[in-house]
């Protein structure tokens, strides 16, 4: 534990973690692909998952981070997966599993060879999979993989699919049950893609793969001009952690050189909800809930898009639609009320009463003998009526019903397989009760009725089947187009009734649609969906081992069925209790009315219905009105934020060869300023701030050095303490300081950054700051001589979190009897500064915990430089786009007994 008096030395040996921070800042800024695909998330290069020249750590030793196999050749300039020879395959794989939830992979590669323009193959693939180093037929890797694959296919196999040109970039997510279809170039399992001329270029090709918060985005830069083309942008993607990155390539009868120049892995700093953080990401099954890309003009149900702000006429239309919606609700409610009155009147005249429909079983069309099924269902209804009238316990009833159902199922097994008839453009839906976490496989085959032969013939190739599956919450978990016969697979995540719908498309024009189809459907649930012969061959299991595995999976399926039955019993019990409560309430109402119960029901039933209808209509209209107002408020807020960020410049990377300009010219004057920047995890702003301020101050001929005080402890952010640290570590070569926010850039060259000899000079005055305009505000940018700062004893160390430390420092200036000066003659107003902080992407810590609510308005007469406690982890000199700065990595210390709100809890 060190105080300011003990930390006399400004330099210390850098820790390993500090070197990583410095390297992250450099690589993030010098990367040539960040300006177009970065969406505001801070990025950190992860060297353990990156393949960078001179390719250290590549080999077969125990300490290697990359393994390779096949025809892979590692040189000093590239990693060649396959040479320009036929029937070769090679791959390179990271040995370290990736446990990042949000990441971005940048791949620099080159495909070239001696073949003709359209005769080359086969392609290259980038992998994020559960297994590695398994050669196979999919671009040199195994089929039925588990994870994500991005294919750069350079050879056309499907000669009928002329709607796309090759090379073609596509993506695929598989849980091990999907197979890559080479004959159709992977169309059946493709998430999206784009054509890209990447072969035999004079330059390298760049590919960016980003996965963040369930959205997968793939972009390609073909011409090496930092002009990115979007190939895939799809939400609803679920990828687990703990998988491996790799690259593979293969050649067949034709050949090409497939070279990997670099693979750079970046960690994206994205905030997740507590539910997401508590989830075990290693046990997630790879899946995609949205199987068509939003770029194909299909709405994105995941909601992962950024809405545009509303203009004035849009606001007017929104209010008009809200009023029309309320009027429509009123009209519909009145019509429904009138119809219900007429129905009640007719019921009163005829003496009808309410009827409850008996629970029925669906009657499918079963082969040529549907009569046996009808008899079986009639028997089941009779058994159900018998048990409903008996006093046996519920458990015995359920067991007997299950036994009877199994017996009837055995009798029905002699009948032909399940099929049904639908029209060519008709939709059929089935309801299947499925436990949670259960895999379902459906196989179907379609036949088209031929009027000439008066029989069903195999369906034409142009006829397809669209399969859609919804869970009990009406959420779509599978939506995909298949051929005339196929197989679909999905896994249930919610127990209950799943709706499986099949919808055929016509093989002719819609005018001639109307033919009859016969669809043979086989649905396998649970352990029945497993192909044990394939499992035994794949895992090399003996007959005994296979039987044990079957028994284990059967026991697991039985447990799921039992859990589902308990779930149904609980739901039935809740329904019964709710019904009993309603009956009790109705009885009390009838008794309190002092009428006969039957008379009350007959006479006042219309009054109760009217009362309930009006109440429901009123609640519905209120919800619509409040929802519209909330939407309007959020849209207006987005408008303000958009105006504030409209002038935000693009973060263009700077060339490495840019030379450092003058920073400390003695002819500029005797004084030198220390620009102290309190900092934590705001790398994007820092990459803009350092070169901008360096150029701005050089243009004004202000001698300066930029000191970035980086807080790396586990306490809340403390801006005041970091400024105190910057003052203590600024050295003897500076005589005044600038307390400068990293997200505030001066736009007017008339602003004075000179030596404030007469007193503190507030550059970002309330008349000029874009956000804060109260008179006592001294934040943003404040210049003080070191002598004046010491007279104030620095800033208070009690302000953990965001805000209020500036207001307390204003009182210190008054106590020290220092006169505050502000700019004069500046006519640019609130446009004097550019504020580059985006609250939508990076929220401030504005919580007030425990006694902090009262303490934030008090003066701290003793705290400041005298009780500052910190530890300098390292001090590094860094160049950002030719602008020098000093990174002081600091760990603050907190007396929890005095300021318990320094902790996040």
For residue 253, the domain's CATH number is 2.60.120.200
572 against 890, higher pLDDT: 890
**Is 270 within the bounds of a domain?**
yes
Q: Please, what's the b/e burial string for 230-243 (b: 16 or more CB within 10 A of its CB; e: otherwise)?
A: ebbbbbbbebbeeb
Q: Which residues contact 694 (CB under 8 A, 6 or more apart)?
A: 661, 663, 704, 706, 882, 883, 884, 885
- Asked whether residue 250 carries a pLDDT value surpassing 60, the answer given is yes
C-alpha Rg value of the chain to the nearest Å:
35
Adjacency order of strands within the sheet including 736-740 = 761-762, 781-785, 736-740, 673-679, 704-711, 883-892, 870-880
Greatest mean pLDDT among 218-232, 339-353, 656-670 lies in 218-232
Domain termination residue (choose one: 529, 549, 567): 529
Lowest mean pLDDT among 67-71, 128-132, 484-488, 523-527: 523-527
pLDDT tens digits along 550-603: 777 777 777 777 777 777 777 777 887 778 777 777 666 665 554 444 444 444
For residue 438, the domain's CATH number is 2.60.120.680
Distance CA 801, CA 847 (A): 7
pLDDT at 215: 92
Nearest partner of 676 among 596, 620, 737, 748, judged by Cα: 737
Transcribe 387-430 into DSSP letters. HHTS---HHHHHHHHHHHHHHHHHHHTTSPPBEEEEETT-EEEE
**Is 843 within the bounds of a domain?**
yes
Answer yes or no: do 270 and 193 share one domain: yes
| Residue 736 contacts residue 755 (beta carbons within 8 Å) | yes
What is the widest separation between alpha-carbon atoms in the chain? 107
Answer yes or no: do 523 and 549 share one domain: no
* 3-class state of residue 373 by DSSP: helix
pLDDT at 9: 38
Q: Please, what's the b/e burial string for 119-157 (b: 16 or more CB within 10 A of its CB; e: otherwise)?
A: ebbbbbbbbbbebbbeebebbbbbeebbbbbbbbbbbbb
Give strand ranges (E) for 653-713. Answer: 673-679, 704-711
The proportion of the chain whose per-residue pLDDT surpasses 90, expressed as a percent, equals 26
pLDDT tens digits along 52-84: 888 877 876 666 789 988 889 888 889 999 998
| Residue 761 contacts residue 821 (beta carbons within 8 Å) | yes
Answer yes or no: do 506 and 618 share one domain: no
Distance CA 775, CA 786 (A): 24
Lowest mean pLDDT among 96-100, 213-217, 612-616, 891-895: 612-616
111-137: average pLDDT: 84
Answer yes or no: do 56 and 183 share one domain: yes
Distance CA 872, CA 892 (A): 9
Give strand ranges (E) for 720-832. Answer: 736-740, 744-746, 761-762, 781-785
Lowest mean pLDDT among 270-284, 289-303, 556-570, 658-672: 289-303
For residue 869, the domain's CATH number is 3.90.550.10
Q: Is the peptide bond before 795 cis (omega within 30 degrees of 0)?
A: no
Distance CA 366, CA 306 (A): 50
Q: How do beta strands 736-740 and 673-679 pair?
A: parallel
- Asked whether residue 649 carries a pLDDT value surpassing 80, the answer given is no
Nearest partner of 88 among 315, 308, 249, judged by Cα: 249
Tokens of residue 869, six digits: 């406690």
pLDDT at 703: 94
- Asked whether residue 156 carries a pLDDT value surpassing 60, the answer given is yes
613 against 832, higher pLDDT: 832
| Residue 125 contacts residue 151 (beta carbons within 8 Å) | yes
Answer yes or no: do 810 and 843 share one domain: yes
220 against 355, higher pLDDT: 220
Q: How do beta strands 883-892 and 704-711 pair?
A: parallel
pLDDT band of 359, cuts 50, 70, 90: very low
164-183: average pLDDT: 89
Helices (H), 101-190: none
859: domain range? Answer: 673-902
Tokens of residue 834, six digits: 């550019």
Q: Is the peptide bond before 122 cis (omega within 30 degrees of 0)?
A: yes
**Is 828 within the bounds of a domain?**
yes
Lowest mean pLDDT among 354-368, 605-619, 805-819: 354-368
Residue 288: which H helix or E strand, with range? strand 287-288
Distance CA 395, CA 91 (A): 58
Phi and psi of 673, rounded to 5°? -100, 140
Answer yes or no: do 215 and 341 share one domain: no
pLDDT at 592: 55
**Is 811 within the bounds of a domain?**
yes
Distance CA 52, CA 684 (A): 23
**Is 400 within the bounds of a domain?**
no
185 against 358, higher pLDDT: 185
pLDDT at 771: 86
- Asked whether residue 662 carries a pLDDT value surpassing 70, the answer given is no
- Please state whether the predicted TM-score (pTM) of the whole model is above 0.85: no
pLDDT band of 118, cuts 50, 70, 90: low
Answer yes or no: do 133 and 65 share one domain: yes
pLDDT at 305: 36
- Asked whether residue 678 carries a pLDDT value surpassing 90, the answer given is yes
708 against 278, higher pLDDT: 708
Inter-CA distances, 590 with 353, 578, 603, 608, Å: 18, 19, 11, 12
Lowest mean pLDDT among 328-337, 484-493, 498-507, 599-608: 599-608
563 against 245, higher pLDDT: 245
pLDDT at 506: 56
Phi and psi of 347, rounded to 5°? -65, -40
pLDDT at 462: 67
pLDDT at 594: 46
Question: DSSP assignment, residue 821?
Answer: B
Judged on CB neighbours under 10 Å (0-12, 13-18, 19+), 51 is buried
351-368: average pLDDT: 38
316 against 784, higher pLDDT: 784
Tokens of residue 43, six digits: 């990025």
Answer yes or no: do 317 and 425 share one domain: no
pLDDT at 591: 57
Greatest mean pLDDT among 49-58, 383-392, 560-569, 673-682 lies in 673-682
Answer yes or no: do 218 and 112 share one domain: yes
Transcribe 205-220 into DSSP letters. EEEEEEEETTEEEEEE
Phi and psi of 776, rounded to 5°? -90, 10
**Is 372 within the bounds of a domain?**
no
pLDDT tens digits along 685-697: 888 899 999 999 9
Nearest partner of 783 among 771, 808, 796, 765, judged by Cα: 765
Answer yes or no: do 271 and 335 share one domain: no
Average pLDDT over the chain, rounded to whole? 75
pLDDT band of 344, cuts 50, 70, 90: low
**Is 653 within the bounds of a domain?**
no
Domain termination residue (choose one: 606, 629, 644): 644
642 against 454, higher pLDDT: 454
223-249: average pLDDT: 91
Answer yes or no: do 693 and 723 share one domain: yes
Inter-CA distances, 721 with 183, 771, 793, 865, 871, Å: 65, 23, 12, 9, 12
> Looking at the DSSP assignment, which residues form a beta bridge with residue 168?
153, 195
> In the chain, how many domains are there?
5
pLDDT at 395: 44
Question: DSSP assignment, residue 138?
Answer: B
The proportion of the chain whose per-residue pLDDT surpasses 70, expressed as a percent, equals 69
868 against 855, higher pLDDT: 868
Inter-CA distances, 211 with 106, 232, 269, 429, Å: 12, 11, 12, 34
pLDDT tens digits along 716-759: 889 999 999 999 999 899 999 999 999 899 999 999 999 999 99
Lowest mean pLDDT among 186-190, 210-214, 416-420: 416-420
| Residue 504 contacts residue 425 (beta carbons within 8 Å) | yes
Answer yes or no: do 555 and 456 share one domain: no
pLDDT tens digits along 811-865: 899 999 999 999 999 999 888 999 886 654 555 665 656 555 556 666 777 788 9
**Is 621 within the bounds of a domain?**
yes
């Amino acid at each position: 534990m060190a105080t300011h008096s003990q930390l006399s030395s400004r330099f210390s040996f850098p820790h390993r973690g500090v070197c990583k921070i410095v390297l992250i800042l450099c690589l993030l800024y010098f990367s040539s692909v960040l300006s177009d695909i970065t969406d505001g998330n801070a990025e950190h290069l992860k060297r353990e998952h990156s393949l960078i020249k001179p390719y250290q750590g590549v080999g077969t030793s125990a300490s290697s981070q990359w393994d390779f196999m096949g025809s892979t050749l590692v040189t000093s300039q590239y990693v060649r997966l396959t040479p320009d020879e036929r029937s070769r395959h090679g791959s390179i794989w990271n040995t370290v599993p990736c446990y990042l939830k949000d990441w971005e992979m940048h791949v620099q590669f080159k495909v070239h060879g001696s073949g003709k323009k359209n005769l080359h193959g086969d392609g290259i693939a980038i992998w994020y999979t559960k297994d590695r180093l398994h050669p196979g037929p999919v671009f040199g890797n195994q089929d039925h993989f588990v994870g994500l694959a991005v294919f750069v296919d350079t050879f056309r196999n499907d000669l009928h699919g002329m709607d796309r040109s090759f090379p073609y970039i596509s993506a695929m997510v598989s849980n091990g049950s999907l197979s890559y279809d080479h004959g159709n170039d992977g169309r059946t399992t493709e998430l999206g893609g784009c054509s890209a001329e990447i072969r035999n270029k004079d330059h390298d090709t760049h590919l960016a793969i980003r996965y963040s918060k369930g959205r997968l985005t793939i972009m390609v830069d073909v011409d090496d001009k930092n002009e990115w083309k979007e190939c895939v942008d799809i939400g609803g993607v679920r990828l687990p952690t703990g998988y491996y990155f790799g690259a593979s390539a293969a050649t067949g009868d034709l050949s090409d050189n497939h070279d990997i120049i670099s693979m750079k892995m970046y960690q994206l700093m994205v905030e997740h909800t507590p539910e997401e953080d508590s989830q075990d990401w290693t046990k997630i099954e790879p899946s995609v809930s949205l199987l068509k890309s939003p770029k194909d003009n299909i709405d994105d149900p995941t909601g992962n898009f950024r809405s545009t702000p509303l203009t004035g006429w849009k606001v007017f239309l929104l209010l008009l639609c809200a009023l029309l919606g309320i009027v429509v609700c009123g009209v519909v409610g009145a019509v429904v009320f009138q119809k219900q009155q007429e129905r009640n009147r007719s019921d009163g005249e005829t003496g009808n009463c309410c009827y409850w429909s008996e629970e029925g079983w669906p009657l499918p069309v079963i082969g040529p003998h549907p009569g046996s099924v009808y008899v079986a269902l009639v028997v089941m209804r009779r058994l159900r009526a018998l048990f409903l009238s008996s006093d046996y316990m519920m458990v015995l009833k359920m067991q007997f019903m299950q036994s009877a159902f199994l017996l009837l199922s055995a009798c029905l097994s002699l009948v032909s397989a399940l099929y049904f008839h639908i029209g060519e453009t008709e939709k059929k839906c089935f309801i299947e009760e499925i436990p949670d976490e259960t895999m379902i496989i459906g196989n179907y085959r379609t036949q088209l009725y031929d009027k000439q032969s008066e029989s069903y013939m195999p369906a034409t190739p142009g006829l397809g089947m669209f399969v859609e599956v919804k869970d009990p919450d009406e959420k779509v978990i599978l939506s995909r187009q298949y051929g005339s016969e196929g197989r679909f697979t999905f896994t249930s995540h919610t127990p209950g009734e799943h709706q499986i719908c099949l919808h055929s498309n016509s093989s002719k024009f819609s005018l001639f649609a109307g033919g009859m189809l016969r669809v043979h459907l086989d649905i396998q649930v649970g352990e029945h969906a497993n192909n044990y012969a394939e499992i035994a061959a794949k895992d090399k299991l003996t007959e005994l081992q296979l039987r044990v595995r079957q028994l284990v999976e059967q026991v697991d399926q039985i447990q799921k069925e039992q859990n589902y039955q308990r779930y149904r019993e609980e739901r039935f019990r809740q329904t019964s209790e709710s019904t009993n409560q309603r009956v009790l309430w109705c009885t009390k109402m009838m008794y309190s009315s002092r009428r006969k119960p039957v008379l009350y029901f007959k006479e006042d039933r219309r009054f109760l219905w009217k009362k309930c209808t009006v109440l429901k209509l009123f609640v519905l209209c209120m919800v619509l009105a409040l929802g519209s107002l909330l939407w309007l408020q959020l849209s207006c807020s987005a408008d303000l934020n958009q105006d504030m960020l409209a002038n935000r410049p693009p973060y263009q990377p700077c060339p490495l060869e840019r030379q450092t300009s003058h920073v400390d010219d003695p002819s500029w004057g005797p004084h030198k300023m220390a620009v102290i920047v309190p900092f934590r995890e705001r790398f994007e702003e820092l990459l803009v701030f350092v070169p901008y301020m360096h150029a701005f101050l050089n243009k004004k001929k202000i001698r300066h050095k930029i000191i970035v005080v980086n807080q790396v402890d586990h306490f809340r952010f403390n801006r005041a303490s970091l400024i105190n640290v910057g003052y203590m570590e600024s050295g003897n070569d500076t005589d005044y300081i600038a307390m400068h926010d990293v997200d505030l850039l001066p736009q007017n060259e008339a602003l004075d950054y000179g030596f404030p000899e007469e007193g503190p000079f507030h550059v970002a005055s309330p008349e000029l700051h874009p956000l804060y305009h109260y008179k006592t505000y001294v934040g943003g940018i404040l210049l003080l001589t070191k002598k004046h700062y010491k007279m104030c004893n620095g800033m208070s160390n009690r302000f953990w979190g965001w805000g209020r430390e500036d207001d307390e420092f204003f009182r210190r200036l008054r106590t020290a009897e220092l006169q505050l000066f502000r700019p004069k003659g500046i006519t640019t107003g609130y446009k004097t500064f550019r504020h580059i902080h985006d609250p939508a992407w990076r929220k401030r810590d504005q919580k007030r915990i425990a006694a902090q609510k009262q303490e934030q308005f008090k003066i701290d007469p003793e705290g400041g430089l005298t009780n500052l406690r910190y530890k300098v982890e390292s001090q590094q000199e860094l160049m950002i786009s030719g602008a020098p700065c000093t990174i002081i990595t600091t760990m603050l210390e907190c007396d929890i007994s005095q300021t318990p709100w320094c902790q996040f809890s």
